[in-house]
Structure 1
Amino acid sequence: MDTLKLEEKWLQETLPGGIVYPSSTVISGPGGSGKPLVEYAFVASWLKAGGSVISIPLQYPTMEMGKTALKDLYRVDLNDYENHVSYIQFEPDMDKHEEIGKNTIKANLLKPEVWKSVVETANNMLEPSELGTLVFGSALNLLLFSPTYRQGMLNYITEVIKSDKSKSYMFSVSTSAFADEIKQWEEAEDNLMFTRMEDDMSLFFSVCRMKEVPFSTEEVKVPISEKQLDKIKEIAHATRSKIIPKLSRI
């Protein structure tokens, strides 16, 4: 069994044995509750240990938010890992996918066949590593707003996180909509975690289930500033108001 040790103290408190790889993880919680910022803590440990990453932040139009969060919160400058990071930009208006820059692709991720193809294309852009590739995506629940592709993507992602051990997967999902459908993803993965945010902008993290490693179910406070959490809430609101109406018509 291979495990990745985690760097952040608050993660070590809940996951003293680290996290098994390859494995699949879902971080679930209400919209705007800081899930991507928690994800980036795992990404930082993965990159520092020599792994490669495919980034699929569905709610961010560029990688700038992720770059800033990784540098400010977890001391990771993505410029130092340029051969170990590729980025997939969600573009529902296009048919398939196309490369738009170094290690950067835009794609219509509503289609299972496109998702499969573009992830492999992104993986081929990366240097091989002993840890393998971590595919991490945020706001994956956005895929469910398309009435045409909802069921197909729900089933496809379920199968990926349940059966594909060629890579590790970490997805964050908002339970503010499609909570019943999202339970299908929560039940399929190896590791299940939750976030919540209190009115005073305090972010809390807890672990529900882990594959083959010891863990604590005790909730911990994540040491992230109110400014960073405000930014996440702002982006979450902007995403809901802009992209959800578009997806609902597809």
Structure 2
Amino acid sequence: IFANYSSGVKTNRDAWCYNADKVVVASNMQRMIAFYNAEVARWAAVRAAGVDIPELKDFINFDPTKISWSHTLLQPLDKGKVFTFETSAITASLYRPFTQQWLYFSRAFNEGIYQMPQLFPTAAAENRVICVSGIGARSGFSTLITNFIPCLDNIEKGQCFPLYLYAKPTTATANDLFAAAPERSDAITDAALAHFCNYYTVTTISKEDIFYYVYGLLHSPDYRHRYAA
């Protein structure tokens, strides 16, 4: 039915990347990025000296009050890559059901953004996504619709099915999540539309109708019982 979908955003750094106060998110991220860049400089100085170079994991400062390290940050640090704080990266996100927070949406500082740039390529991009519990969820099936970037655990292990898809960014803008919005298309496939029109023998069904039909069906007790895992 859907041409593509995405997991919710996983930051692995919620304490820095998320907050109910936009100013606090900015302050936290500025401090963390400054600390990261300082570690890049320290590591580069040691490597330049060329004497008794330690293992990277034994060298960096793992102070959890300053940063949360993972492969997504250790790899660019080892290559000497520095980052700058981007005010435009702060955007609204659905952190938990009915709980909006501000998110620093960043390829560098979010552990996994998955296909989310095709759903929300810019801070102003319009979309709606149906979030459903993913594989491994322990709290049972649930579903919720939102027009904000969803956190992975907005609904446990959430998978997000969009109303719209945006074209993949070009090479020049691949690392800029907040460049001008690319071309938008319907996420519901032509094949799905044809199936619904043929089944109901009408031609007035739209792809948006199918999107909301799916959301309604996911709330049906009969449907949930019939297809329960």
**TM-score, normalising length from structure 1?**
0.21
Ranked by relative contact order (alpha carbons within 8 Å, sequence separation 6 or more), the top structure is 1
Greater share of helix residues, 1 or 2?
1
